[in-house]
Amino acid sequence: MSIFTDHPRSVGETYAEHFRAATSFGIPMITAGVACVLHGIFPFMFEKTGSNLVRRLYDRMVVNRVKMTHETTDGQQIDWCI
């Protein structure tokens, strides 16, 4: 077992699949964070950008979690740590 593959394997992914999934959450999170900081400085900018991105990421994670739960053969829910 490797420190690079233990967690991905525990959620039913290869290292590459886990990297792709984590990156697809991480980049929008960084984008939302920058938008929120800029909104704090310039309140007229990015009024809903941060909350919209967070809502989309939440919806994606919940939909994927439900999908993965139904696909598991032992009936256990996949652990979704990012």
Cα–Cα distance for residue pair 49/35, rounded to 1 Å? 7
Cα–Cα distance for residue pair 1/63, rounded to 1 Å? 29
More confident residue, 46 or 1: 46
What pLDDT was estimated at residue 72? 56
What pLDDT was estimated at residue 32? 94
Does the structure show a pLDDT above 80 at 28? yes
Cα–Cα distance for residue pair 30/68, rounded to 1 Å? 26
**Domain extents for the chain?**
6-71
Intra-chain end-to-end CA distance of the chain, in Å:
19
Tens digit of each residue's pLDDT (9 = 90 or more) over 32-73 = 999 999 999 999 999 999 999 989 998 888 876 766 555 655
